[in-house]
A and B are shown apart, each in its own frame.
Chain A
Amino acid sequence: MEKATVVVIGGGATGVGILRDLAMRGVDVLLLEKLDMVNGTSSRYHGLLHSGARYAVKDQEAARECIEENAILRKIGKSCVEATEGLFIRLPEDDADFEGKWVEGCKKSGISAIPITPHEAWQLEPNLSHQIISAYRVPDAAIDGFRMAWQNVDSAARYGGRVKTYTEVIRIVSKNGKIIGVDVRSYFTKQTYFIACEFVINAAGPWSGQIAALAGLDVNVQPDKGTLIAFNQRISSRIVNRLHVPSDGDIFVPHGSITILGTTSMSVKDPEDTSSSFNEIESLLQIGEKTFENLRKYRVLRAFAGSRPLYSASGGKGRGASRGFVILDHAEDGLHGFMTITGGKFTTYRLMAEKITDIVCQKLQVTTPCRTAEEPLMQAVTEEVKQKAHKYFPAYGTELAATRLGADRFERVVERLEKNPEERQLICECENVTLAEIEEVIKEGTSFTVSDIRRKTRMGMGTCQGNFCSLRSVGILSRSDSIVEKQQSLQQLQDFLQARWKGIRPVLWGNALRETEMARGIYGVGLNVNGGSPE
């Protein structure tokens, strides 16, 4: 029988944070995720590592947490964070009174907000609107949600922390008011089985209401959908926020070679609803072009959406509801060994994990202190290995691969490249992903679909949105022996193309339209992806 001391439900930032913290304190912990890691909220947001300035007026406690965690994540997750800094700009339509309150709030929360003149702002960011009235520099940064989560998992693994993906919890099993385990179902084989444990931590984000309901408990988490747009360029070097009461479409975050504009806020019934409509995109663009007047000249890559878990004890909704986090010990509801952690935001995931881990450890009488704020998530890639890699990677590919793979995996990939020239093929030209990297990721046995590989390597996320690498990656995945639960290759390809299409459809104009015609030419006309036979 499988067992663990603690089962954590949910493969997002909060879940992996708890996994790592418990593992580092020597607790036997297993994380269960019903699909692939980081497929929900933690990868479906703007990727902003908040300085806290956004919350400086409404919620100074949240603001303080942000600035403290911001400093910690820069330190422990160097390769996940791009220290861009951020600007807050006020435009004529933004309330002047708010500015004073905001400056005061930043001061009180310990967030550095340095005033600069509009002229200085334009020197820093020439594309900014020429209507700016005032501007401030704050220590915002960009953070990669996929990478951060993966590095937590890798770090936890070094301490014995385990993960099972595509494993859905379907029942929470208790005896005499105490947790004894969970029933789970495998996504691919549909097989169900029992995992014994003493504690269950519900860290399922917007799904945590559904998980609590499995134990017959009521946790009021309202999924709140946010839609975002990815542009194919960096529009600015810094994060740009509007200096007003936080609202839709007022944040731009540059990441690598793209920029993300977000977000909207809309209550939805089902956290699985990650659709975005033409109208949502249009309204984002209308707000966004106040910040960057030429916004519509930039190519839109795709749209995407995710659900925030907004918790309310009393039923507050949307931006009115708290962005702070809560920990619910369901012992108070008569079920010992079951806790829910919800609300919060990506920036404070580590702190949230620390708080709940403290409580669990106290119950387990584990006294080892939390060290997640001191120990880096991964070892830095050495210059020596990078030098070796330079021989095989395209010019800027080395840095990209080193940061996304981490020291150990990167070294293994470089070794493959060295030994096996075949594997130097660039499978995804847009994101510089080699065959060696894809083979290495497949070998780990945690990727079952092309989208799983995409999340780990960035393959298919670039300019052509998978026009060329879709067939290649399906071919590579389906010839691999490392994966038992393989899906039919044609179905894999159809699913992957459809997943890419979902984000392109609401932005179908300009070059996205052009690329789509090409995708249809290749996969529809040339390869008859719908299938067919003469009989």
Chain B
Amino acid sequence: MIKSDVIVIGGGFAGLMAAAVSAKRGKKVTLLTYGSGSFPLNSGLIDIMARPIDETVCATPVEGIQALPAQHPYKRVAANIVEDAVTFFKELCEEENYPYSGSLTKHQWVVTALGTMKPTCLVPKTMLGDLCLKKEEIVLVGFNRLKDHYVNVMEENLQQSLGKKKNYTTVMVDAGIEDGRDLTALDIARWLSTTQGYETCIKQLRSAVKANSVVILPQVLGLKHDYAIWAQMKKDLQCEILESTGLPPSANGLRLRNLLLNYLKKHNVTMIENAKVIGSTVRNHICTAITTQAAARERTYKADNFILATGGFYGGGLQMENFPSIKETIFDIPVQFEGEAEEWANEKLFSNQKQPFAEVGIQTDAKMRPLDGAGNCFINNVFVVGRNLSGYDFCFEQSGNGVALVSAYQAAMSL
């Protein structure tokens, strides 16, 4: 087996970004994936920072980062790293012809499937919700039999979040897909990718939508990472076209994933799918190899460096079989919860506080190398990125993909 410069473990956003930055730096990269992380969940939006301390939304992402406590992952890296990581990501998307908008100095607001507005940082052109502020006519489009999207709920709540002065109308499109199965947004996206599907849809919209409106759809404007359907619809309806966030599976999450996989392929990253890493060989604080379990046999992969991007409790990188013992499954990096059982979770699921269980994870040095309980480097050539890091609450802060991006960038730059 040929040895890699770096093995990245994990197929979520953090893993793919770590592989992309490493490859761009000319490293020989092997990416081992088992699943696709939270791409289907998070709409492919790059949240960076909206609520650093309490429920108040900070003025800008960059100011939010400045307000954070020292143990936060953003604070472990040099200030310019956050900026460099954002630049890297935006250039990468540009290169793949699916440019993202946004910057660290302004929140981007997207429309959610609930009709609330969500602050985020980097967004695809199909989700620039600020456009709603500039227009009077808002048209909410739903699809018959799409059980994950409710225009009535969106209308009710948009009246709160955007004000009642606007005109809201709702349109239901019939996709006429007759296979007896429940539809997801992905089915509609596939249908809209066909000429016949698109024509059928546009015909129904044309009769119901006035020019110069903002038309808000679920994420159905194709599965490919291009803006072809979006641009065509914009032109055909003479309207602003928006996609909202929604229940999984998210089309834009998958677009972003495909975009990144494409980039990795071009940069000669070796990708091995369905590779569940079950153990590692570590001597004198140096990892020499990791072991995967595929269908029938175990395999060993060697490298000079390893980037751990296996996620947290959702992704499976961290496991808690019983309270309070937490296990990092590959390198057995120590993870601890310091509080009492009753302090493990807040009384309210969504409140004005960060969830203690969400902030649990691996502590690292500035290079993203894991630390043991005494603050010493646990393994010198392993770098930890994404949700298995400690010190942040991806959900409360609205910072998940941002921490993934920045930590991945820092780890790859530390090689």
Assess the B182–A493 pair: CB atoms within 8 A: no
Q: Which residues of the partner chain B approach A478 to less than 8 Å between Cβ atoms?
A: 150, 152-153, 156
Please list 20 pairs of residues, one from A and one from B, whose beta carbons are closer than 8 Å in the complex, sorted by A's number: A277-B342, A279-B341, A282-B341, A426-B182, A475-B152, A489-B152, A489-B157, A493-B114, A498-B350, A501-B349, A513-B357, A517-B314, A522-B41, A525-B47, A527-B113, A527-B245, A528-B114, A529-B114, A529-B116, A530-B350
B321 and A510 contact, CB distance less than 8 A: yes
Across-interface contacts of B345 in A (CB, < 8 A): 505, 508
| B357-A527 in contact (CB<8A) | no
Q: Which of A282, A476, A489, A501 contacts B348 (CB 8 A)?
A: A501
Whether the pair B160, A524 counts as a contact (CB closer than 8 A) is no
User: Is B148 in contact with A530, judged by CB distance below 8 angstroms?
Assistant: no
A498–B349 contact, CB under 8 A? Answer: yes
**B109 contacts partner chain A, Cβ-Cβ < 8 Å:** yes
A493-528 at interface with B (beta carbon < 8 Å): 493-494, 497-498, 501, 505, 508-510, 513-514, 516-528
A435 to B250: give the CA distance in the assembly, Å.
Answer: 22
Say whether A524 contacts B147, CB under 8 Å. Answer: no
| Smallest CB gap from B399: residue in A | A525
Tally of contacts, chain A with chain B, CB under 8 A: 176
Cβ-based interface call for A490 (8 A) = yes
A472 interfacial by beta-carbon distance below 8 Å:
yes
1/0 contact trace for A455-476 toward B, CB 8 Å?
A: 0000000000000100110111
**Complex alpha-carbon distance, A517 and B358, angstroms:** 8
Identity of the chain A residue whose Cβ is nearest the Cβ of B114 in the assembled complex = A527
Residues of A within 8 A of B117 (CB): 528, 532-534
Within 8 A of A (CB), among B102-153: 107, 109, 112-119, 130, 133, 144-145, 147-150, 152-153
**Pair B41/A518 contact, Cβ less than 8 Å:** yes
The reply to whether A534 and B344 form a contact with Cβ atoms under 8 Å apart is: no
Interface size class of A (residues with CB under 8 A): 35 or more
A471 touches B150 (CB 8 A): yes
Known: A282-B341, A531-B116. A525 touches B130 (CB 8 A): no
Q: Which chain A residue shows the least CB distance to B325?
A: A509
Whether a CB of chain B sits under 8 angstroms from the CB of A425 is: yes
Chain A residues whose CB sits within 8 angstroms of the CB of B400 once the complex forms: 521, 525
**Hey, which chain B residues are within 8 Å of A509, CB to CB?**
320-323
- Shortest distance between the CB of B186 and any CB in chain A (Å): 15
Interface residue? B407 (CB, 8 A): no
- The reply to whether the CB of A72 lies closer than 8 angstroms to some CB of chain B is no
Q: Is the CB of A48 closer than 8 A to any CB of chain B?
A: no
9 shortest interchain CB distances as A-B pairs: A475-B150, A517-B314, A501-B349, A278-B341, A528-B118, A524-B395, A533-B161, A520-B395, A479-B152
Query: Taking the complex as formed, is A427 at the interface, i.e. its CB lies under 8 A from any CB of chain B?
Result: yes
Are A534 and B109 in touch, CB under 8 angstroms?
yes
Q: Which residues of A contact B279 (CB under 8 A)?
A: none
Q: How large is the interface on B (under 10, 10 to 19, 20 to 34, 35 or more residues)?
A: 35 or more
How far does the alpha carbon of A498 sit from the alpha carbon of B346 in the complex, in Å? 11
A422 part of interface (Cβ distance < 8 Å): yes
DSSP class of B's interface residues: helix, strand, loop or mixed?
loop
Shortest distance from the beta carbon of A394 to any chain B beta carbon, whole Å: 11
Say if the beta carbon of B246 comes within 8 Å of chain A. yes
- Report which residue of A278, A505, A516, A525 has the largest number of chain B beta carbons within 10 angstroms of its beta carbon: A525
The answer, yes or no, to whether B231 is at the interface (CB within 8 Å) is no
| CB–CB B160/A278 < 8 A | no
| Contact indicator B357/A532 (Cβ below 8 Å) | no
Is A296 an interface position by the 8 A CB rule? yes
B202 within 8 A of A: no
B281-294, CB under 8 A of A: which get 1 and which 0? 00000000000000
Selected contact of B43 from candidates A426, A472, A505, A526, CB within 8 Å? A526
Q: How far is the CB of B78 from chain A (nearest CB, A)?
A: 27
Closest CB of chain A to B337's CB: distance in Å? 11
A488 at the interface (CB under 8 A from B): yes
Please give, as numbers and ranges, the residues of chain B lying within 8 Å of A513 by CB-CB distance. 313, 320, 357
Residues on the B chain within 8 Å of A476, using CB: 150
**Residues of chain B contacted by A534 (CB below 8 angstroms):** 107, 109, 117, 119, 130, 133
Residues of A contacting B344 in the complex (Cβ-Cβ under 8 angstroms): 278, 508
Beyond A472-B148, A517-B314, A526-B246, whether A489 also contacts B153 by CB under 8 A is yes
Q: Is B312 an interface residue (CB 8 A)?
A: yes
The answer to whether A296 touches B350 (Cβ under 8 A) is no
B247 CB–A CB distance under 8 Å: yes
A contact residues around B113 at 8 Å (CB): 471, 526-527
With a CB–CB cut-off of 8 A, which chain A residues contact B316? 514
Chain A min CB distance to B171 (Å): 14
CA distance A229 to B79 in the complex (A): 48
B145:A422 contact, CB within 8 angstroms: yes
Judge whether A521 and B350 touch: CB under 8 Å: no
Interface centre among B38, B247, B320 (most CB of A within 10 A): B247
B residues near A493, Cβ cutoff 8 Å = 114
Residues in B304-331 with C-beta less than 8 Å from chain A? 312-314, 316, 320-323
How many angstroms from the CA of A488 to the CA of B147 in the assembled complex? 20
- The interface residues of chain A lying within 8 Å CB-to-CB of B77 are none
Contact A526–B342 (Cβ < 8 Å): no
B100 within 8 A of A: no
> 17 extra interchain contacts, Cβ-Cβ under 8 A, other than A526-B112, A531-B160?
A278-B342, A424-B182, A425-B182, A435-B147, A474-B150, A478-B152, A489-B153, A497-B349, A505-B345, A510-B321, A519-B349, A520-B395, A521-B41, A526-B43, A526-B246, A527-B116, A531-B116
